[in-house]
Structure 1
Amino acid sequence: MIVKPSQFGVNADELSVRSLIYFIIELDKLLKYIGKRLLSSGETIAIAESVTSGFLQFSFSQMKDASQFYKGGMTAYTLEEKVNLLDVNQEQALNCNSVSAGIAETMALNVSRLYNSDWSIAVTGYASPVEESNGKLYCYFAISYRGEKILSEKLDLHSRTKSVNAQLYYSEFILGCFKIELDKQQESRAS
């Protein structure tokens, strides 16, 4: 049985707008939470991104008092920039089209070093199905804390996901994981 949005008195465009509004409300709550945590801990963060093309950086810039904890970031979209700016191994990057757990981890560790931050987040992947990704959508992301990788994961999406939705979903998921890591650090400091 195929269910159409119009069966519920809502057309597809209205459903899309409602989903976007819900997404923005939830994202706002998440950003406020992360900002408060970073402010209260006195710790800083830097971002290196590729597939999300600046959305993580934008998200941190929207947090209240961001200049007190957000050191900055970069979008290194090409292999050349990942190698030149983030010291990614060129041979390793060539072998995987700059998309692997190792590349994300290197990006995270090196952006933290460049910006002298406590925390860092890095992401690389695909927002549209291409030959290099075998028609699949996925990203690798890493979070580091004080020069150590603490999380490195792969996130897969359905290959029909629109590019902008993939970028937004990657970003929101990564921010959610970062929130969990912030909570873990606070718990370990409290015990």
Structure 2
Amino acid sequence: MQFPKILLEKISYYLLDRNETISIAESVTSGFVQLAFSQMPEASQFFFRGLTAYTLEEKVKLLDIDAEEAKAVNCVSQTVTEIMALNVAEKFGSDWSIATTGYATPVPESGHEIFAYYSISYRGEVVLSDKIELHPLTKALDAQNYFTECILSNLRCEVKKHPLPISV
């Protein structure tokens, strides 16, 4: 699996230049975001940790998602993704985080739709949270790849536009 090289290089450059770190919590992207980070130049300098949590039990145990709230939405909502992003950053002590959840195949639980929610946090605040929707005939691997590239493109924009905190 290859991701756009220039995109990976820019994210790497920005995070290295800022001396900032990132961690990832994935569900629908099945580790694709972590795979993309592993291909970035000098990734070990800024990519702290990542985890893939599919089930409600994993999200509750590993990411402190409220079980009742998650159960009500089958672990797939903008709110769940925002909590995942905030909690993975806190758990691993990173400046930035990305979280994903959704459906890469059309199933009854998704209303036979393919979509992903994702959230990006920076220093304890969600700075971007959105939904990506795809045609229901999209193949799962293509959906996961598209979700990942879209999320990485938005991360690049967010890192670039957020000023570094001023040290006193």
In the superposition, the TM-score normalised over structure 2's length comes to 0.95
What's the C-alpha RMSD, in Å, of the aligned pairs? 1.5
| Equivalent in 106, 122, 129 of residue 106 of structure 2 | 129
Question: Quick check: 2:18–2:164 contact (8 Å CA) kept in 1?
Answer: no
Residue equivalent to 1:182? 159
| Equivalent in 91, 105, 125 of residue 82 of structure 2 | 105
Q: C-alpha deviations, 1:83-137, integer Å up to 9, x for none?
A: 1000001111111110000000000000000110000000000000000001000
| Equivalent in 117, 126, 138 of residue 149 of structure 1 | 126
Please give the residue correspondences for 1:16-55 in structure 2 after superposition, counting only pairs within 5 Å. Answer: 24=2, 27-55=4-32
3-state DSSP of counterpart to 1:51: coil
Q: 1:147 to 1:188 in 2, by over 3 A?
A: closer
Q: 1:188 to 1:176 in 2, by over 3 A?
A: farther
Alpha-carbon shift at residue 187 of structure 1 (Å): 8.5
3-state DSSP of counterpart to 2:16: helix
* CA distance in 1 between partners of 2:8 and 2:76 (Å): 27
The one-letter code sitting in structure 1 at the alignment partner of 2:34 is: Q
Any runs of at least 4 consecutive aligned residues in structure 1 with deviations exceeding 6 A, and if so which? none
* CA distance in 2 between partners of 1:177 and 1:186 (Å): 16
Name which structure has the greater RCO, CA cutoff 8 Å, separation 6+.
2
* CA distance in 1 between partners of 2:163 and 2:68 (Å): 38
Question: Quick check: 2:100–2:117 contact (8 Å CA) kept in 1?
Answer: yes
Residue equivalent to 1:61? 38
| Count of aligned pairs between the two proteins | 166
Residue segments in structure 2 that go unaligned for 5+ positions in a row:
none
* CA distance in 1 between partners of 2:164 and 2:28 (Å): 31
* CA distance in 2 between partners of 1:71 and 1:124 (Å): 20
* CA distance in 1 between partners of 2:29 and 2:6 (Å): 20
The yes-or-no answer on 1:116 pairing with 2:93 is yes
The one-letter code sitting in structure 2 at the alignment partner of 1:176 is: S
The one-letter code sitting in structure 2 at the alignment partner of 1:154 is: K
Residue segments in structure 1 that go unaligned for 5+ positions in a row:
1-19
The one-letter code sitting in structure 2 at the alignment partner of 1:45 is: I
* CA distance in 2 between partners of 1:133 and 1:44 (Å): 33
Q: Which has the larger radius of gyration?
A: 1
3-state DSSP of counterpart to 2:137: coil
Overall identity of the aligned pairs, in %: 52
3-state DSSP of counterpart to 2:82: helix
| Equivalent in 128, 134, 140 of residue 117 of structure 2 | 140
Residue equivalent to 1:73? 50
In the superposition, the TM-score normalised over structure 1's length comes to 0.84
